[in-house]
Each structure stands twice: as C-alpha cells, then as structure tokens.
A and B are shown apart, each in its own frame.
Chain A
Amino acid sequence: MTRNLPTVLAVVLLLIGAVVSENALQEVPREDPLGRRLLYLPSAEMLRLGSLGNPGLVADLVYLWSIQYYSQYRPYERFLYLETVYNLITDLDPLYHDAYRVGALIMQLPTTDEAIHKAAVIRLFDKALRNMPDNHEIAEAAGWDLFIRYRDRAEGIRFFEAATAIPGAPHRLHRFLTRWREEEGAWSVDDAIDYWREVREEARDEFDRLVCDRQIYRLVASRDGELLDPLLSRWQAVNGRCPASWRELVDAGLLGETPLDYFGQPYRIEPETCSAEALDAVRLE
C-alpha cells in the first residue's frame, strides 16, 4: 500500500489538474459568431453512408445537438445555417415530425431577418408536406404558425386547405378554414354558407354541429339583412316611421311573407336603426 502511495497520489494530482484546466477552459469566452462549426457539418448523403443503416439515429443525434446549439447563442447568431441544419436532419429522416415542428419554431424566434426566416419556415413546412402527405397535424401546425406568428392568412389558408384535404383531419380545421376564407374576402357570403352547410354535414359531434349552426345563422342573417334593410328604408321613407311588424311590409306588397331566420324564427325590427336584427339565439354553451 505504502509502495503504491506515490502512484496513487500522482494519478489523483493528474486528475485534479485535468479538472482544473477543464473548468478554466469553460470560463474562456469561445463564441462562434460566424457559425464556423456548422461549416463543417457533413452532407446528408455522407452522414447516411456513415450511419451504416441508421440514418434515423444520426438524425436524432443532430436534432438533439441542434436544440442545444440553438439554445445557447444570442439571437442574431442563432440563426446561422438554421435552415441547412434542419434540412440535413429531415434529409436523413424525412418523416421526422418533431424536427420539422421544432425547426420551424426556432426559425420563428424574433430576428432582424423576419422575411428571410418566414420564407425558410414556409419551405420547411412545404418539405414536411411533400414528405408526409398524409400528416394533417404538420399542415395544421404550419397553418397556425403562419397565421399567428406572421399574420399571413393567405399562407395559413393554403396549409389549412392541405390539412383539410387529408382524410381524418379534425373537423375544427374546416371551421377555421371557412372563417379565414370569409375574413380574407375570398368568398361571397353564399359560398361561405354553402361551405358551412357541407362542413355541418360532415360534423362528428354535437359541439361541431352547433358551431356550424352558429356560423350559418350569422351568415344567413347577414345576407338577409342586406335584402331587408333597403325594404325597411323604403317603407320608412313612404310612411315617415319604422314599421312595427313585417306584416306592414307584406300588406304594402314589399314582401311576400314574414322573413324568417335560419332557425325559422322571424327577424326582429330594431326601431332605433330601422333594420332587421337576428336574435342572438345560438350560443355554444
């Protein structure tokens, strides 16, 4: 034991020296503002060859590394070669759902190059849809990201259209798509009503049907209001007051019968504005 003591001490001292120097190295600032480390990333083809039949595992490792790498640099440095890295991962494993999702999320962090990164996000999601044409989740995620983060409803609609075309897509996507289309002004009210009716027929539960009814009710009321309000104005101009009921318009020959809303209830005449008003009868609860 005594004979071995110097050897043991030497080993311990060497180990302490290694630990101390490692700690000292950690304190030395070693930034990589040009992303030089990324310049030496091998191509997907080389990595696939080197993986010896395990490209999925290599994709996992690069993915894990990328999460650590991109979470430790300041924003303006963070995005260097971001698209290259996530293209590499998704070339190695084209079905890697999380990589598309997380890659797009990192690209969406606020930077000075918003337009460039937005285009990269769209390219990454387009690639995801090319590689996973049956995955409505990624299309939905893309639609939300483009709509919420970039307020780009047109791109949101494009991805939601792709999502709703995939069998098994949740019904809510149809609802949002229709609403966005309406707000985008791309559709007439009649188009929107027809679409909501189709959506209602495909609804799988009572909640979805109720949401559709509410939308149809609102749209039908809006369309009818555009027809009824001018008639009310004309009657008011002739008689000097707002009619008390629809019967007075029917008697005057302006209407064939009392106008009814989507649920078969008569519209109310609002005396203050002399306009047709729908009852706010459909509530989600």
Chain B
Amino acid sequence: MRAIRVIALSTLREALRDKILYLFLGFAVLLLASSKLFGILTVGDQTKIIKDMGLAGIQLFLMLIAVMMSVLLISREIDSRTVYYILAKPVRRWQFLVGKYVGLLATVLVNLVLMSAILVVLVWLYGGGVDPRLLIATAMIGVEMAVLVAFATLFSVLTKPILGSIFTLSVFVVGHVSQDLWLLTRHLPESVGRTVVSALYYVVPNLERFNLKTEVVHGLPIPPEAIVWALVYGIFFTILVLTLACLRFGTRDLQ
C-alpha cells in the first residue's frame, strides 16, 4: 500500500508541476465569460444554460486531462529511465501501475472539486440558489473519469503514447454512444450479428450510466438505485481494466 501511495503522490505532484491546474483556470474563465455572454443572448432562465455549460465543461476538461496524461503516464518514466530505479526497489510492477492510476485519478479529482466549486458559486451568483444536486452530477462525472483513467492507464502500457491518447478519446466517444448499440440489438433479428453487437455492448463501457446532468438541471428525481448501480458498474469496470493493464505491464519488456 505504501508503495502505491508514494507513487500516486509523486504522480500527482508531477502533474501539478506540469501546470495541469491551468486547465481549471481555463474552465473558470470559459464558464464566467460564457455566462456573461449567454446572459446577453438568451431569453429566459440563464441558470439552466450555466448548469448545462458547466457540467459539460467539467466533463470535457477532465476528459482532456485523462487523455493528455495518458501520453505521459508510463512513457515518460521509461524515457527518463526512472522506472528502472523504482522497479529495482521492492515495488512490484502492478503496484507501480496502480500508483500511477491513483495519482492520475487524484489529479483529475482535484480539478473536479475546484471546477464543481466554481460552478456551484456561479449558479448561486446568477440567482439559481445553492444547488447541492449539482455535486451529485459532478460526482458521477468523477466516477466516469475513474473508468476513463483506467482505460488511459491500460492504453499507456499497451501501445505508443499518441495511440494511447487516441484510444482513450475513442473510449470516451464510444462510451457515450454505446447505448445505441443496445438499441440496435433490439432492432436486429435473432442472428449471430445480434449476438456480436450485444457482446460488444457489454465490452465497451456505457458512460451514459454516469450521466445525471438532465435530472440535475431539470430538478428531476434521481432513483438512489441508479446511483448505487452506476457506482458498482464503475468500480467493476475500473478494476477489470486495471487488472488487464497490470497483467500486460507485468509481462512487458521495458527495454
């Protein structure tokens, strides 16, 4: 555990040194400027647009962090040869990888907390009151990012950095449209094709399961079991992907 914690902290510190928090500043500026602009352009409830904009912005910026960091996660350690020093100590490969994952996730979550605070304050400033349900939506974005960061970790050990980023981005895109794969299976006749599409649906993460934005923005009820099952789904998927990453990293030639 100690090894994982040390590697995670070091990864977080490294990310902060890389000015990753500038993304948070970018988010704040974007949200403030767009809120002001939309206030001029829109007719009606401005807070609805701020919530939509803010939640989508948080998701987008965190996804960018995951994608960008996946480039650096392992390859930089190999390029700078620090991985050899670390693995020469009593640190197992899987501990190293899980530490990297936790560090990257912590980086994402630090940004998530700061961005969520900005959004809540901005909604309050524009007369939308303090809406604690916004935090439910952002927390679920956090769970979505935990899954995405796991994929980023997997791709960082599977392939080259640039490809890893592209694959992580692809998982994000496919994860948000995979629900339509399921709908597609409902329209396909009973055949091998339908079985293949169904199997594909279960292999690809359905990131829409973590999407509670509409419910939060429109004040709709959120069934507690939807949150609980989404958490279970996220945890299982994350552990599964991390396990695959650890298996691959354990046999990878680091020369």
Interface residue ranges, A against B (CB under 8 Å): 49, 52-57, 59-60, 63-64, 67-68, 93, 95-98, 101-102
Contact = CB atoms under 8 A, between A and B. Distances in A.
Given A52-B172, A95-B218, A57 B53 contact: yes
Contacts of A53: 59, 176, 207-208, 211, 213
Nearest to A102: B43
A54 B173 contact: no
B126 interface: no
Interface in B11-64: 38, 41-45, 48-49, 52-53, 55-56, 59
A97 B41 contact: no
B135 interface: no
Contact of B214 (A56, A64, A67, A101): A56
Contacts of A60: 38, 48-49, 52-53
Contacts of A52: 172-173, 176-177
Given A53-B211, A56-B217, A57-B56, A101 B44 contact: yes
B180 interface: yes
Contacts, number: 58
B38 A64 contact: yes
B59 A98 contact: no
A52 B141 CA distance: 13
Given A60-B49, A98-B42, 6 more contacts: A56-B213, A63-B42, A64-B41, A67-B42, A67-B43, A98-B44
Contacts of A56: 48, 52, 56, 213-214, 217
B194 to A, nearest CB: 21
Contact of B52 (A49, A54, A101): A54
Nearest to A101: B44
Which has the most chain B C-beta neighbours within 10 Å: A60, A64, A68, A98?
A60
B137 to A, nearest CB: 11
Contacts of B53: 57, 60
A54 B45 contact: no
Contacts of A68: 41
Given A54-B213, A98-B45, A98-B48, A49 B38 contact: no
A101 B59 CA distance: 29
16 contacts: A52-B172, A52-B176, A52-B177, A53-B213, A54-B55, A54-B213, A56-B48, A57-B53, A57-B55, A57-B56, A64-B38, A64-B49, A67-B43, A95-B218, A98-B45, A102-B43
Contacts of B213: 53-54, 56
Contacts of A95: 214, 218, 220
A96 B208 CA distance: 20
A100 to B, nearest CB: 10
Nearest to A106: B43
Contacts of B55: 54, 57
B198 to A, nearest CB: 19
Nearest to B219: A95
Contacts of A98: 42-45, 48
A49 B177 contact: yes
A178 to B, nearest CB: 30
Interface string B195-232: 00000000000011001011001101000000000000
A107 to B, nearest CB: 14
Contacts of B173: 52
B216 to A, nearest CB: 10
A101 B48 CA distance: 15
B4 to A, nearest CB: 31
Nearest to A59: B52
A64 B218 contact: no
B176 to A, nearest CB: 4
Interface string B169-196: 0001100110010000000000000000
Given A53-B59, A54-B59, A97 B43 contact: no
Contacts of A49: 177, 180
Closest 4 pairs between A and B when the two form their complex, measured CB to CB: A98-B44, A52-B176, A54-B56, A57-B52
Contacts of A93: 214
A259 B126 CA distance: 60
